Structure formats: C-alpha cells, structure tokens
C-alpha cells in the first residue's frame, strides 16, 4: 500500500533512509536547484543534507513529497513554489522565458527519486498527482515540471518523463531542447 506525505521535519529521518540508498541522492539532497553550483558542489559531503534539513524545518510549504510502500520510504518528489528554486528558474535554465511575476504563485516539480526495487511501479505518477493536490490546496495557480521528452531515449530521468506529466493533466508549453520539455497544469482554486 502506498502512502504519500508532505516532507517536513517529522519525516527527515525517513527521507535520509531513502536518499542514503543511492550515491547520487546521498550527496545531492535535492539542493541542486536551490543553491548556487559552487555551494552545492562543496556541500556534497554532508552540507547539502544539513542545508535541506534547515530549510525543511523552516519552510511554510513542504519541501516535497515522500512516498512509502508498505511502511518503507520508497520515492521522493521535490515540489514547492517556483520562487524557492532560484537556480532552476534563472540564468540558462529551461525556464528562463517564464514570467517571473508568477514565481510565488506557480509551483515547480523539478526532481523525482525512486528507490531501486520500487521503480516502474507508478510511484512517480502517484507523487505527481499528489503534488497537484497539495499545490491546489496551497493556492497555487499552476504547477510545472521539465521532464525528459518521450522522444529522447535513455539516461536518468530524475526530472520525470513527459508521458507521466501528460497522464496527470499537464500540457506541453515549451520544448527548449530535443531532450527537455516544459509541462504545465493550470490549477483550479480549492473548494
């Protein structure tokens, strides 16, 4: 059975259990889109975890979502207001043509991670569907992602895949490269 919860200080040890299961997430702690590259690189030996935990303890909105399978942390989705992801939205980013006036009202889902043994089981779709719900309740006007284009073969897909976003009601709003697509879902005001 799958349970998906917002990430805040109460589930940090479970998130650590998930992230410590993989070399890439062990050093990253999903800080690559939050802080400048130089800080991110120097933080890969523990500083990124400490910085993430500090943010999680002080964030008004969750830092992401954590999926449990049979009580064990199995998958993660970084999600929150686009303004949180200054590195992701600036400079040479695929979002460089966005409307910066929307950064507080539009949420971004930039990164997924699924534990080995739980992949290809639909967890990314479940996480994304839950992110839509959480963003709607928080009053977001829209939610975006920048998944790997379905026409692009192979490689890691920490950013998700185009067809998963499409299944969750997202529409393509840009194709900044053959590899990347920007997907967006406009949200209705919560009832």
pLDDT for 74: 97
Which is nearest to 137 in space by CA: 188, 75, 73, 81? 188
Rounded distance, CA 8 to CA 83, Å?
Answer: 18
Backbone phi, psi, residue 84, to 5° = -65, -30
pLDDT in tens for each of the 191 residues of the chain? 899 999 998 999 999 999 999 888 989 999 988 888 888 888 888 899 999 999 999 868 899 999 999 999 999 999 999 989 877 766 667 777 787 788 889 999 999 999 999 998 999 999 999 999 999 999 999 999 999 998 887 666 789 999 999 999 999 999 988 888 999 999 986 65
If you ran DSSP here, which 8-state letter would residue 10 be given? G
pLDDT given at position 92? 62
Q: Which residues are registered as beta bridge partners of 65?
A: 6, 77
pLDDT at position 13 is 96
Closest CA to 66 of 78, 54, 84: 78
Domain-located, residue 9: yes
CA–CA dist 117, 52 (Å, integer): 25
Judge whether 191 lies within some domain.
Answer: no
> For position 118, what pLDDT does the model report?
93
Residues belonging to the chain = 191
CA-based nearest residue to 95, from 173, 162, 152 = 173
Q: Give the model's pLDDT for residue 44.
A: 82
What's the domain count of the chain? 1
Amino acid 99: pLDDT: 78
Q: In this predicted structure, what is the pLDDT of residue 155?
A: 65
Instruction: Give the pTM.
Output: 0.92
Residue 159 near residue 110, CB atoms below 8 Å: yes
Residue (of 66, 73, 67, 19) closest to 46 by Cα position? 19
pLDDT value, residue 156: 67
In degrees to the nearest 10, what's the CA dihedral of 41, 45, 51, 56?
A: 120
Does the residue 123 lie in any domain?
A: yes
CATH of the domain at 99: 3.40.630.30
**Domain that includes residue 87, residue range:** 2-186
Q: Is residue 180 part of a domain?
A: yes
């Amino acid at each position: 059975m799958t349970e998906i919860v917002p990430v805040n200080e109460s589930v940090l040890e479970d998130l650590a259990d998930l992230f410590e299961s993989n070399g890439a997430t062990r050093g990253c702690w999903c800080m690559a889109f939050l802080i400048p590259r130089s800080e991110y690189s120097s933080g890969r030996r523990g500083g990124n975890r400490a910085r993430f935990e500090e943010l999680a303890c002080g964030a008004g909105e969750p830092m992401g979502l954590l999926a449990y399978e049979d009580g064990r942390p199995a998958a993660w989705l970084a999600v929150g207001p686009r303004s949180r992801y200054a590195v992701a939205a600036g400079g040479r980013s695929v979002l460089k043509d966005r409307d910066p006036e929307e950064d507080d009202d539009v949420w971004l889902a930039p990164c997924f991670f699924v534990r080995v043994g739980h992949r290809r089981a639909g967890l990314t779709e479940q996480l994304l569907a839950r992110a839509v719900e959480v963003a709607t309740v928080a009053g977001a006007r829209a939610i975006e992602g920048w998944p790997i284009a379905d026409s692009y073969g192979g490689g890691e897909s920490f950013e998700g895949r185009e067809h998963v976003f499409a299944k969750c009601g997202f529409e393509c709003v840009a194709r900044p490269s053959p590899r990347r697509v920007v997907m967006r879902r406009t949200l209705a005001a919560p009832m």
